[in-house]
C-alpha cells in the first residue's frame, strides 16, 4: 500500500477546511433564500458537502494522519457581504477552487494505491462542486437582474415626459364658485303657529296667479 507525503496530507486537510466552509455558506444562503425550491436546493448541497466532509475526515483518521479542526476563513468574507447575489458569486468561486484542487490531486495520482476510498471521495467532491457552482452561478445572474429591475423606472414614464403622453384630465373644481344654485329651504313655523298658514320663501317671492 502506498503512503501520502506531507504535502498531499496538507492539501487534503485544506479540502476538508473548504468543505466545512461550504456547509456554513450553504446554511447562510438557505436562510436567506425566499423561494421554497431554492432553499431545498441549497439544503441538498449542504447535505452533500457534509457527507463528503465526514468521509474525508474518517479516511484521514483511518490512515492515522493528522486531521485539521479548522475551517476556511472565506466563510467570514461571505457572511460579510450584504447582497445575496454577491454571496452566491463568492460561493461559486469557492466551489470551483476546491473542485480544481480535487481534480489536480486525482490527475497527479496523489492518492492512487493508498488504502481506503480516497479517489472516490475526491471524485465525489469534484462532481458535487461542479454542479453546485453551475446552479449558483445561474441563480446569482437571475437574482441580480431582478434586483436591478425592481429599482428601475420605466423608460417612458408620462410624469417624466408630459409632452409625450396624453394630458391628464383636470381636477374637478371643488371651490363652489361654479356649483349649481340650490333651492332655498322652506321656513319652518314658529311653535304654536299653524303650519298651513306659513309660506315658503319661494312661495312668497312668486308672482300672484291671475
pLDDT digits (tens, 9 = 90+) for 147-180: 665 455 555 555 555 555 445 455 455 455 444 4
pLDDT digits (tens, 9 = 90+) for 114-146: 999 999 999 999 999 999 999 999 999 988 887
Q: Is residue 203 part of a domain?
A: no
Q: Is residue 192 part of a domain?
A: no
CB neighbourhood size of 15 (10 A): 23
Mean pLDDT of the chain: 81
pTM of the model: 0.69
Q: Is residue 183 part of a domain?
A: no
Q: Domain tally for the chain?
A: 1
Phi, psi at 114, each rounded to 5°: -90, 140
Parent domain of 139: 6-150
Which is nearest to 19 in space by CA: 78, 83, 84, 99?
Answer: 99
Residue 85's CATH number: 1.20.1260.10
Distance (Å, rounded) from C-alpha 55 to C-alpha 58?
5
pLDDT at 159: 58
Distance (Å, rounded) from C-alpha 146 to C-alpha 136?
15
- Top-confidence residue, 105 or 151: 105
Q: Is residue 159 part of a domain?
A: no
Q: Is residue 44 part of a domain?
A: yes
Three-state DSSP state, 109:
coil
Q: Is residue 170 part of a domain?
A: no
Q: Is residue 185 part of a domain?
A: no
pLDDT score of 104 more than 80: yes
pLDDT at 143: 85
**Residues 11, 21, 76, 66, CA torsion sign:** negative
pLDDT score of 65 more than 80: yes
Q: Is residue 179 part of a domain?
A: no
Amino acid at each position: 500500500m502506498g503512503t501520502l507525503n506531507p504535502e498531499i496530507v496538507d492539501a487534503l486537510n485544506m479540502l476538508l477546511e473548504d468543505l466545512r466552509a461550504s456547509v456554513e455558506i450553504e446554511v447562510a444562503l438557505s436562510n436567506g433564500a425566499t423561494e421554497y425550491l431554492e432553499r431545498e436546493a441549497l439544503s441538498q448541497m449542504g447535505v452533500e458537502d457534509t457527507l463528503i466532509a465526514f468521509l474525508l475526515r474518517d479516511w484521514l483518521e483511518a490512515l492515522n494522519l493528522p486531521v485539521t479542526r479548522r475551517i476556511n476563513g472565506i466563510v467570514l468574507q461571505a457572511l460579510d457581504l450584504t447582497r445575496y447575489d454577491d454571496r452566491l458569486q463568492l460561493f461559486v468561486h469557492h466551489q470551483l477552487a476546491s473542485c480544481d484542487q480535487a481534480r489536480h490531486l486525482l490527475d497527479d495520482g496523489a492518492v492512487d494505491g493508498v488504502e481506503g476510498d480516497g479517489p472516490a471521495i475526491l471524485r465525489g467532491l469534484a462532481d458535487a462542486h461542479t454542479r453546485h457552482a453551475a446552479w449558483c452561478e445561474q441563480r446569482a445572474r437571475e437574482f441580480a437582474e431582478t434586483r436591478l429591475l425592481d429599482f428601475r423606472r420605466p423608460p417612458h414614464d408620462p410624469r417624466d415626459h408630459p409632452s409625450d403622453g396624453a394630458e391628464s384630465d383636470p381636477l374637478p373644481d371643488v371651490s363652489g364658485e361654479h356649483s349649481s344654485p340650490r333651492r332655498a329651504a322652506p321656513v319652518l313655523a314658529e311653535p304654536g303657529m299653524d303650519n298651513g298658514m306659513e309660506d315658503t320663501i319661494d312661495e312668497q317671492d312668486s308672482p300672484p296667479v291671475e
